Amino acid sequence: MTDKSTSQTLRRGLHILDLFHKVNKELTVKEITEKMGISTTVTFRLVNTLMECGYLTKNTSTVKIRLGLNAYKLGIYADPFPELREIAMPFIEDIAQKTKETVSLNIMDPLTKEGVCIASIESPHDVKFSRPIGLSKPIHNGASRKVLLAFMDHKQQELMIRRLSSKYEIEIDRLKVDLDQIKTKGFAYTEGEVNEGALNVAVPILSQEGHILAGLSIHCPTYRKKDDTVEYFAQLAKEAALKIERHLEKTEAAPS
């Protein structure tokens, strides 16, 4: 049931903005109408309003609609954890320098419950796995997101698994075994689980109370894997995560 204290028109406008992502960078009005399930008249009115406000714009070459500059600026301002990102960046840079591989910082989106990349440095190699900021994927796939699920509070984890099982075809028992192993080892490791030929090692960043804040991940192609790669990545990431946690504690303890 829709909350009567909210605006349906605003909700529709925001849902239109949500249609644009890496795959759907540009859409026609007809495509927007079909995806929204509303009339063409309503779509035109909403799209024109968003264009007038600078959140959408029209590509004059393709006559398709795409995100406008104001949407881009809003995305830059929307940093949910500025302190976490600021504190983590020097350590992300250090790992990237030592490994010459892609390193990312990921959190769980409280609304979609997906894992989202909020910071990353790409490998200088020609062959690499990129982690663009804003990349969002299901939280049960891939080490960079599984580590978030593994270190959740038990009740929250159970609710999340129930939600996932209603949306995706997953082997619940197998997933729970994986999560237990991740928590026991202190890091997550997957190979080819999301992208073929991709290796991913991730560790948790925890609050003073032991709550999961983010996941620190290292990504590389499997063909560059050596006998000690997983252990080396895990050790580097764990050391960095511990330093990030200590810096966050000092920030919280500092008088305002």
Q: What is the pLDDT of residues 39-92, one digit of tens each?
A: 999 999 999 999 999 999 999 899 999 999 998 888 777 766 788 999 999 999
Class of domain 80-253: alpha beta
Give the mean model confidence (pLDDT) for residues 163-180: 92
Q: CB–CB of 102/195 below 8 Å? A: no
Residue ranges matching CATH 1.10.10.10 in the chain = 8-75
Class of domain 8-75: mainly alpha
Residue 116 reports pLDDT greater than 70: yes
Whole-number pLDDT of residue 253: 60
Whole-number pLDDT of residue 132: 86
Residue (of 133, 147, 254, 248) closest to 190 by Cα position: 147
Give the mean model confidence (pLDDT) for residues 178-195: 95
250 versus 33: which is more confidently predicted? Answer: 33
Whole-number pLDDT of residue 201: 98
Q: How confident is the model at residue 2 (pLDDT cuts 50, 70, 90)?
A: low
Give the mean model confidence (pLDDT) for residues 138-166: 93
Phi and psi for 165 in degrees, rounded to 5?
A: -65, -25
CA distance 56 to 34: 18
Q: CB–CB of 53/43 below 8 Å? A: no
Whole-number pLDDT of residue 135: 86
Residue (of 153, 90, 152, 71) closest to 115 by Cα position: 152
On average, the pLDDT of the chain sits at 91
Cβ neighbours of 54 (radius 10 Å): 15
Whole-number pLDDT of residue 80: 66
Residue ranges matching CATH 3.30.450.40 in the chain = 80-253
Contacts of 150 (CB under 8 A, 6+ apart): 157, 178, 179, 180, 182, 183, 188, 204
Residue 222 reports pLDDT greater than 70: yes
